Amino acid sequence: MQILLLSISGMTWAVFLACWLRPWADERGGTEGESPLSRAFHLFLFWTALALSLLISYGPLGTRWLPDWTALSIAGLVLQWISIRFAVNAREIMGASYSGRIAETDGQRLVEEGPFRVIRHPIYLGILGMFLGTALVSGERHGLLGLTLAAVAFGRKTYLEERGLSKQFGDAFRAYRGRTGLLFPRPWWWRELLGRVIARLLCRVRVVRRQRRDFHP
């Protein structure tokens, strides 16, 4: 079963990358913000991480770091699919501002809609979520190592991207960075979310109590 689920995870990656990388053939003009060597290094880290996650499973890398539970592997596959949808949605929101490389492209703007309202790099969060999902599907150390290498790759790219955005948008980006999280929302967002959940629960409790009083005069 694990081999089947890991094969499905691999096919999911193949379909995702085929669709994701296709628009790069029509790259827009712009000013490069990253050297070709730096770009090549990022791609090397990414593809190595993916190979580790899906293909390289022998010796110590083939030993398990998670229990051999089918439910856990299925949960990883579901997480991978959810992460794909999250990343694709974030890219659609970016529209013309998206570029596969670090560069100042034509039509680029500082996007603050959708998930960008609370985090600055939802696309990278989605991709890392895919790596985590594959690591759960595998349950072996090669998947965990692939996830770790992917985190290094996108952590590095995030640093370079933030530096470029700060230079391009100046105070506007610095203000945006001050009120948003890198990959996860800042504490204030979680407090607001908890407050809304509690308020809805209390409202529901009051409605139920009122209905009971009306039913039993």
* pLDDT the model gives residue 168: 86
CATH 1.20.120.1630 fits 2-9+38-185, yes or no: yes
Alpha carbon of residue 104 to chain centroid: 22
* pLDDT the model gives residue 41: 93
* pLDDT the model gives residue 205: 84
Give the residues of the chain that fall short of pLDDT 70.
23-33, 100-101, 103-107, 214-217
* pLDDT the model gives residue 169: 87
* pLDDT the model gives residue 105: 65
Q: Where are the domains of the chain?
A: 2-9+38-185, 186-217
* pLDDT the model gives residue 24: 52
* pLDDT the model gives residue 202: 87
* pLDDT the model gives residue 185: 87
